Amino acid sequence: MWKILQVPCVPCVVTAYFPRLFVHLLFQVFFSTEEMPEEVDTFWKECQEEHGLATSPNRFAVQTLKSLLCLLQCEDVVVAMECRCGWDTLLCVDTCHYAVGLLAREISSVSIPSCSRILRYLLWLLSTQEPHWDLPALAFFVEVLECLDLSEHDAERVLQIFSRYLQNECKERRRLVLKALLKLTDDPLMTKKMWSLTESLVELLQDADGETVKITVMVLSFIVMDKDTPIPSLISLQLAEALVLLFDHDNWQVQLLSIWLFRTLMTLPLEKKRKALKTPVCHSLLALFFHCRDGNRRVAEASQETLLCAIKFLKKRDLEKLVKKEKLWIFANCLLKKDKSRVAKHLRWALRYLESPQESLREAAIRFMGIAGKHLKGQQQELQLICRALKEMAYDMSLSVSCLASQTLHVLSGGDRARHSTLENLQDRLHRVWKRWPRLSGLGWLLCWSSAKS
């Protein structure tokens, strides 16, 4: 192939078969970079000596690929890849798909028709085979998917491919597909067809990778908002339950997006709407209440707006007035008072906020426990759970949190049974810090002695 490309007059068949030649040369780079059997390596060394070829098979494949691009008057692509170290990046298994994505963007900027022809060939390959080079194939396909004028049949094939890779164990493959779906939400036809992927997308909301979850919530938001017919109750229930758990996600963007989507879900036409969503909406109240005190202003505002929407959804007029007037602690007390059967569950949910890195959320959790304790008459096991948690929080790094925990513990324990008063707790903490840093005590003595002597 390389020798054919060097002759002055290249056969027209090379131009006609450009998409196939390009794809297979590209993946020859991948094959020869990923694994080189010993017998092939021996054979290649003999070829090098006889023909004076490049130093390695993958570099020789890159050289041939460059010649093919130059033949089609894509010299700018070759130069751009060189300037961005793209060819070297292509020669590493771990970064190969990034380089393929860059190559796809450069080709699309020079020749949309060529890019479209490559995409159609890749679409055929990915829908008929399960090749082990699918990661770089997906990288190219996803990067320039807009170049493909999708027919009804093409759209179905694309979504079948994506459905398969959404369930793939490889994080990079899932991310690439999600990135493509996000791009396709600009197409109303594709957005409607994406509804078939909803179940797989909801499952991805439990993924450990924050970026994957964030893009998944964004894709689901576009799908749900575009739905002009009632959403099936089972899907709405699964989605709502998954979103409530994301309110406490480590990534604030995931929190914000999930809160927004949850609010949207309560306003859309659903099959058996109230019955389907009543349980997850009830579960959401406490999480939204806590995040009204979130350190991130945008999360706090979104939480308060969604809390109000949830209360309206549940038709709790008295609670609605309290939230509107921002009397949130009275709201919390009323919530516990109205639903005494769930006080213990609310309490256990609140425990998770004691581990929050945000001081405001830890304080809110302690105050909530103080209120909950008043509604736990006769539930000794739950009271003991609160007291154990508060004893641990009495040693919190934040002085305001530790003092609040000690005071709450003192009240719930009946005063005389409290382990430490606020003052004793502070003395105990200072004593432990003093013991931990003996040099500081010695230094303090020397400084005092030095001052007295002078």
Distance, in Å, from the CA atom of 197 to the CA atom of 14, rounded to the nearest integer, reads 39
In a domain, 430, yes or no: no
Q: What angle do CA 50, 54, 60 make, to 5 degrees?
A: 115
Same domain? 333 vs 243: yes
Task: Mark which of 338, 373, 401 sits at the end of a domain.
Answer: 338
Q: Residues 32, 56: contact at Cβ < 8 Å?
A: yes
In a domain, 156, yes or no: no
Q: Residues 369, 407: contact at Cβ < 8 Å?
A: no
Q: Which of 328, 313, 311 is nearest to 277 (CA)?
A: 313
Q: Residues 368, 350: contact at Cβ < 8 Å?
A: yes
Q: Which of 173, 183, 180 is nearest to 209 (CA)?
A: 173
Please provide the average confidence, as pLDDT, over all residues in the chain. Answer: 84
Average pLDDT rounded to a whole number, residues 265-272: 74
What is the CA 202 to chain-centroid distance, rounded?
12
- How high is the pLDDT of residue 274? 67
Distance, in Å, from the CA atom of 157 to the CA atom of 102, rounded to the nearest integer, reads 25
Task: Render pLDDT for 342-367 as a digit per residue (tens, 0 to 9).
Answer: 888 888 888 999 999 999 999 999 99
In a domain, 53, yes or no: yes
Same domain? 2 vs 121: yes
Amino acid, single-letter form, for residue 50: E
Same domain? 132 vs 2: yes
Task: Mark which of 149, 169, 188 sits at the end of a domain.
Answer: 149
Question: Which element (helix H / strand E) includes 419?
Answer: none
Angle at which helices 210-226 and 171-184 pack, to 10 degrees? Answer: 30
Token representation of residue 401: 């949190």
- The residue with tokens 């400084």 is 447
Confidence of residue 451 (pLDDT cuts 50, 70, 90): very low
Handedness of CA 389, 392, 396, 402 (dihedral sign): positive
Q: How many CB atoms lie within 10 A of CB 302?
A: 24
| Containing structural domain, residue 133 | 1-149
Task: Render pLDDT for 43-81 as a digit per residue (tens, 0 to 9).
Answer: 888 888 887 776 788 888 899 999 999 888 889 999 999
Confidence of residue 257 (pLDDT cuts 50, 70, 90): very high
In a domain, 389, yes or no: no
Same domain? 112 vs 16: yes
Long-range contacts, 336-339 (Cβ 8 Å, 24+):
336/371, 336/372, 336/375, 337/375
Distance, in Å, from the CA atom of 102 to the CA atom of 107, rounded to the nearest integer, reads 9
| Exposed / middle / buried, residue 194 (Cβ in 10 Å: 0-12, 13-18, 19+) | buried
How many structural domains compose the chain?
2
Same domain? 45 vs 140: yes
**403 contacts: CB under 8 Å, gap ≥ 6:** 422, 425, 426
Q: Three-class SS of residue 333?
A: helix
CA distances from 387 to 47, 201, 304 (A): 78, 41, 29
In a domain, 171, yes or no: no
Identify the bridge partners of residue 231 per DSSP, sorted by sequence position. 270
In a 13 Å sphere around the CA of 414, the CA atoms on its Cβ side amount to 4
More confident site: 451 or 8: 8
In a domain, 263, yes or no: yes
Over its C-alpha atoms, the chain yields an Rg (Å, rounded) of: 31
Distance, in Å, from the CA atom of 416 to the CA atom of 425, rounded to the nearest integer, reads 15
In a domain, 324, yes or no: yes
Amino acid, single-letter form, for residue 318: D
- How high is the pLDDT of residue 452? 41
CA distances from 139 to 145, 177, 263 (A): 10, 9, 34
Question: Which element (helix H / strand E) includes 236?
Answer: helix 233-246
In a domain, 202, yes or no: no
CA distances from 355 to 211, 345, 359, 393 (A): 23, 17, 10, 9
Task: Mark which of 120, 149, 178 sits at the end of a domain.
Answer: 149
Same domain? 3 vs 133: yes
Same domain? 134 vs 243: no
Same domain? 31 vs 136: yes
Distance, in Å, from the CA atom of 24 to the CA atom of 27, rounded to the nearest integer, reads 5
Confidence of residue 422 (pLDDT cuts 50, 70, 90): low
Task: Render pLDDT for 185-209 as a digit per residue (tens, 0 to 9).
Answer: 888 888 888 988 999 999 999 999 9
Distance, in Å, from the CA atom of 142 to the CA atom of 118, rounded to the nearest integer, reads 12
